[in-house]
Amino acid sequence: MSQNPKTDRDLSSIKRILIIRLRRMGDNIMTTPVITALKRNCPQAWLTYVVEEPFREIVEGHPYLDEIIVLPRKQKTKDLIQSIRQIRKTKYDVLIDLFGGPKAAWITLFAKAKLKIGYAVKYKSFIYQIRISRRSKEDPIHSVENHMNLVRALGIKVDPIPSLLVPDASDKEKEKVSRFFEENDLIDSKMIALHIGAGNDFRDWGMDHLMELTKLLTQRPDTRIVLVGASQDQIRAERMIKNSKAPIFSLVGKLGLKELRELISRADLFVGPDSGPMHLAASTETPIVAYFGPTLPALFRPWQARAIIIEKDYECRFKCGQRKCMYDDFRCIQTITPQEVFNACLEFL
């Protein structure tokens, strides 16, 4: 910490708190313990959360949030200025920036808040009254723990850290998933949700590995596989179904985030790379088998989940920054074998 938190702060005087967490699904999911901790310790406070599309579903309907401000993923400067003007209409007692990126920094700079808390980020630290050092590769801290340090800086004692809390699907969304199970006779089978997508090439295990894994899993007579992923993964899903000798099912590109969570919650196992859906699975009771490429499990493993992590110990893993593989073969993810993942799956099946 670059500045010691005030431990004698009167938390009952805090009436409005602004929480900023932009960008991706997994990042938003890992902030939900912060929301719980703040509401438990400042029950009188009005909590406002700033999120980007399309990840509003992660926090929409959250029992501890009073207001959600949704920003477009990409904004022109004039539109961002308009958003900031809207945020400035409210005076906050506390602002917590859980992101630290450029857009969040501009919002923080111009928002009206008595106390601003954020990470000690180069060129941006001056906008916060309390600055907390980020995790480092030499001293890794899980992302949830890292976020919670900003809450602790407010003088709140958090022990233990709350669980992930993602709102349930609606009745209509649950009915959609139930109908899929019934129509495909999945109710009495061992159902595995297999995430076939990836955020980038560094996390993409590849179709050949996925096909070999489905072959191993479907040799078990009671096992059924449902492919999940984003719309850009549909061509891969179609090829996998076409090339599989055993029946596999696909909901790739067909589910909203809460529908996906509902499906995963009914599965016997979730399998996939370090990704947003993996963190979504961590918010359920479903066990997880996750394979990690260049990212460090100490920072991003499924929070408080029953999980087996598969990784390869290459020194180059954390140096690439997921920008350029020095070997051009993404060996940290590609050398994980389908047999290794299958053996891990058997621990839960």
DSSP state string for 241-263: HHH-SS--EE-TT---HHHHHHH
The predicted structure's pLDDT at residue 258: 96
List of the chain residues with pLDDT < 50: 1-2
Task: At 190, list the tokens.
Answer: 């061992």
Return the CATH number of 11-152, one of 3.40.50.2000, 3.30.70.20, 3.40.50.300, 3.40.50.1100. Answer: 3.40.50.2000
Residue that the structure tokens 């200025």 belong to: 81
Using alpha carbons only, what angle is made at residue 209 by residues 205 and 212, rounded to the nearest 5 degrees? 155
List, in order, residues 6 or more apart from 240 with CB less than 8 Å away.
196, 207, 210, 211, 214, 227, 248, 250
Give the chain's count of helices (H) and strands (E). 14, 12
State how far the Cα of 297 lies from the Cα of 308, in Å rounded to an integer: 11
Nearest of 287, 216, 288 to residue 248 by alpha carbon: 216
Residue 212 and residue 338 in contact, taking contact as beta carbons nearer than 8 Å:
yes
Q: Please give the span between the terminal C-alpha atoms of the chain, in angstroms, as a whole number.
A: 44
The predicted structure's pLDDT at residue 125: 87
Specify the domain boundaries for CATH 3.40.50.2000 within the chain: 11-152, 171-348
The predicted structure's pLDDT at residue 2: 46
CB < 8 Å & 24+ apart, contacts of 253-259 = 253/229, 255/228, 256/57, 256/173, 257/25, 257/54, 257/55, 257/57, 257/58, 258/57, 258/166, 258/167, 258/168, 258/169, 258/170, 258/173, 259/169, 259/173, 259/176, 259/177
Nearest of 249, 252, 258 to residue 173 by alpha carbon: 258
Top CATH class, 171-348: alpha beta
What pLDDT, in 10s, does the model give residues 196-253?
A: 998 788 899 999 999 999 999 999 988 999 999 999 999 999 999 999 999 999 999 9
What pLDDT, in 10s, does the model give residues 125-161?
A: 899 999 998 866 667 899 999 999 999 999 999 989 9
The predicted structure's pLDDT at residue 6: 59
**131 - beta bridge partners?**
118
